[in-house]
Amino acid sequence: MGSGVRLLVLGKQGAGKGTQAVRIARHYGVPHISTGDMFRAAAAARTPFGLKAKEYMKRGELVPDDVVIGVVAERLAKDDAVDDGFVLDGFPRTRVQAEELQRLLGPGGLDAAVDIDVPTEVVLDRISGRRVCRTCGATYHVDHPPKVDWLCDKDGGDVVQRDDDKPESVQRRLELYEQDTRPVLEFYDGLNLLATIDGVGDPDDIFGRILDGLASVGRSPLPAPPAPQ
Residues labelled catalytic: 17, 93, 130, 162, 173
Residue type, 82: V
Closest distance to ligand AP5 from the beta carbon of 146 (Å): 12
Q: Give whichever of 124 and 191 is closer to ligand AP5, judged by the CB atom.
A: 124
CB 185 to ligand AP5: min, Å? 14
Helix (H, G, I), strand (E, B) or coil at 224: coil
Among 3, 102, 128, 135, binds Zn ion (CB under 5 A): 135
Establish if 132 lies at the interface with Zn ion (CB under 5 A).
no
Nearest-approach distance from CB 220 to ligand AP5, in angstroms: 26
Binding site residues, ligand AP5, CB under 6 A: 11, 13-19, 35-36, 39, 56-57, 60-63, 68, 90-93, 97, 126, 129-130, 139, 141, 164, 173, 203, 206
Give 34's strand partners.
89
- Residue 17 near residue 89, CB atoms below 8 Å: yes
Cα–Cα distance between 133 and 79 in angstroms, integer?
27
Residue 18 binding Zn ion, by CB under 5 A: no
Closer to ligand AP5 by CB, 52 or 141: give it. Answer: 141
Q: Which does 6 bind (CB under 5 to 8 A by kind): ligand AP5, Zn ion, Mg ion, none?
A: none
* Least gap, CB of 1 to ligand AP5 (angstroms): 27
Q: Is the dihedral of CA 115, 121, 123, 126 positive or negative?
A: negative
Q: At what angle do helices 35-44 and 48-59 cross, to 10 degrees?
A: 120
199 binds Mg ion (CB under 5 A): no
**Beta strands 112-117 and 130-133, pairing class:** unpaired
What are the DSSP calls for 165-209, one per residue? GSHHHHHHHHHHIIIIIHHHHHHHHHTT-EEEEE--S-HHHHHHH
Residue 20: in which H helix or E strand, if any?
helix 17-28
Q: Does residue 103 bind Zn ion (CB under 5 A)?
A: no
Q: Which of residues 13-52 bind Mg ion (CB under 5 A)?
A: 18
Q: Which amino acid is at 80?
A: D
**Chain positions contacting Mg ion, by CB under 5 A:** 18
**Chain positions contacting Zn ion, by CB under 5 A:** 133, 135-136, 138, 152, 154-155, 157
